[in-house]
A and B are shown apart, each in its own frame.
Chain A
Amino acid sequence: MTHPFESTDSNPEQNAVAGVTAATATQNLGVSGHGHRKLTPEEAAAMEEKIRKVEIAISLVLRIGVSLSVLVIAVGLAIMFSHHSDYTSFTGSFSFKQLTSSTSQFPHSFSGLAHSVASGQGRGIVVIGVMILIATPILRVAVGVISFLYEHDVPMALVTLYVLIVLIGSFFLAGA
């Protein structure tokens, strides 16, 4: 019985074990396009070095974004708790429910957010931190466009650019 999800491209001979060496693995690298020729060892090494640089760059962008976001959220939370002494006890009459109910106040527009931060509210600063976190995948796609251009891979750069445009467009469509 054939599996409905399984592609017709696969047959038992093709399902051979793929225990390959690093040398053959580098041939999998490279760019989009018709008529792939095998790269010379020098070209393959240069390409691998380029891709490694791109991966390190993307990794760095993510680490900075994630660390910054956690830092801002922690600062915001600390300010929030320092402003309200009744939040910080382990026992007491003030329930967290009052902060997560339908009448709880927190910023939900860019103008409200700016006002909240300007008046030194901890919750506004927390939202800024969350915004930085939300921006990291978008930033990652943007870095992807640049890195595919750097690898001279125009088809993949166009693919990534399309995703970036849809992402940014979705924010405008949301009306934030």
Chain B
Amino acid sequence: MVSYSERWEAGADGPAPPAWRCAPGAATVTPLVFVLSLTLVAVAAGVLGSLIGLGGGVVIVPALTILYGVNIRLAIGASIVSVIATSSGAAAAYVREKMTNLRAGMFLEIATTTGAVSGAYLTTLLPSRFLFAFFGIVLGYSAFATFRKRHAAQPLTVSNDRIANYFNLHGSYFDVAENKEVSYKVVGTKLGLFLMYVAGLVSALLGIGSGALKVPAMDSAMHLPIKVSSATSNFMIGVTAAASAGVYFVRGQIDPIIAAPVAAGVLAGAMFGAKVLGRITSKTVRLVFVVVLVVISLEMLQKGIFP
């Protein structure tokens, strides 16, 4: 077995890590300071990630690469850990409040896990630059579509969708902000399954979180309430991330000194974020999601156009 450092030096792992950008003579960041400060960043990542159903990676990857100058490969390994931590941390609270639609989530996981596994073994014919640019546009459009739905927050009461009726994917949850039980019906399962397959495929091909495509698929295509979409996405991203965690471990991308504060901080943040989700209005959740989606979309466009 080739060791991690040998594989790195052989150039199989991309560019060398950027030099630590500290001015000469400035105080060194010791491991203790690193762990303590990263835990605080991770708590923030967990709160935001669990609130909008995208996982903590949205915050963790840029923080590690830009703030700490950590190599992108180790940052992506930490992101996988943070996504699972967001998912499991938020889940305990969500399920008890029935916010997560377990049936719909599990049903859609058929497509996402299949997409993730096929993506990992698919040598794409298209360059990743093209994919980044393409999905940058797709996410930009999703952000616009999600934003436009902000006034029409009424869930459906009837569904003609045969698959949704057969598997009984409909549900209800108690909305603390509105102080009432909200019942909803699910439609568009075929389009939903297709989008979930693409979400799994893209997350495996580009190493981005699949939540950015999952939430719009559930919100726009399947008419799930935004809070249910977010909570169900939180459940699903953990399962999808677990499907690729083995690969990241074997490739030596899970560094314990990074993973430890990320796991602990994100878990704490996600538990708090899950409690907040119940209390704030659907419109707020939607707007926070749109802002984050616009940022991710611009990030992807930048990778596609000016790499």
Residues of A within 8 A of B (CB): 3, 5-7, 9-10, 14-22, 24-25, 28, 30-34, 36, 55-56, 58-59, 62-63, 65-66, 69-70, 73-74, 76-77, 80-81, 84, 86-97, 99-106, 108-109, 122-124, 126-127, 129-131, 133-138, 140-141, 144, 155-156, 159-160, 162-163, 166-167, 169-171, 173-176
Please report the C-alpha to C-alpha distance between residue A160 and residue B252 in the assembled complex, in whole angstroms. Answer: 30
Say how far B12's CB is from chain A's closest CB, in angstroms.
11
> Do B254 and A16 touch (CB < 8 A)?
no
B28, B166, B221, B260 — most chain A CB neighbours (10 Å): B260
Residues of B within 8 A of A (CB): 1, 4-5, 8-9, 13, 16-17, 20, 27-35, 68-71, 74, 81, 84-85, 87-89, 91-92, 95-96, 98, 102-103, 106-107, 109-110, 113-114, 116-117, 120-121, 145, 148, 152, 154-161, 165-168, 170-172, 180-184, 187-188, 191, 216, 220-223, 238-239, 241-247, 249-260, 263-264, 267
With A73-B264, A100-B255: A24-B183 Cβ-Cβ less than 8 Å: yes
Picked from B9, B32, B84, the residue with its CB within 8 Å of the CB of A88 is B32
Please report the C-alpha to C-alpha distance between residue A159 and residue B44 in the assembled complex, in whole angstroms. Answer: 35
The 6 closest A-B pairs by CB, nearest first: A174-B246, A96-B34, A108-B252, A5-B220, A126-B256, A7-B188
A58, A129, A136 — most chain B CB neighbours (10 Å): A136
With A24-B183, A63-B92, A123-B257: A138-B242 Cβ-Cβ less than 8 Å: yes
Say how far A78's CB is from chain B's closest CB, in angstroms.
10
With A103-B5, A159-B106: A126-B96 Cβ-Cβ less than 8 Å: no
Please report the C-alpha to C-alpha distance between residue A11 and residue B101 in the assembled complex, in whole angstroms. Answer: 23
With A127-B254, A171-B246, A175-B250: A137-B263 Cβ-Cβ less than 8 Å: no
Please report the C-alpha to C-alpha distance between residue A171 and residue B120 in the assembled complex, in whole angstroms. Answer: 12
Please report the C-alpha to C-alpha distance between residue A100 and residue B81 in the assembled complex, in whole angstroms. Answer: 16
Please report the C-alpha to C-alpha distance between residue A176 and residue B172 in the assembled complex, in whole angstroms. Answer: 40
Query: Which A residues are CB-close (under 8 A) to B68?
Result: 96, 100
Please report the C-alpha to C-alpha distance between residue A77 and residue B187 in the assembled complex, in whole angstroms. Answer: 47
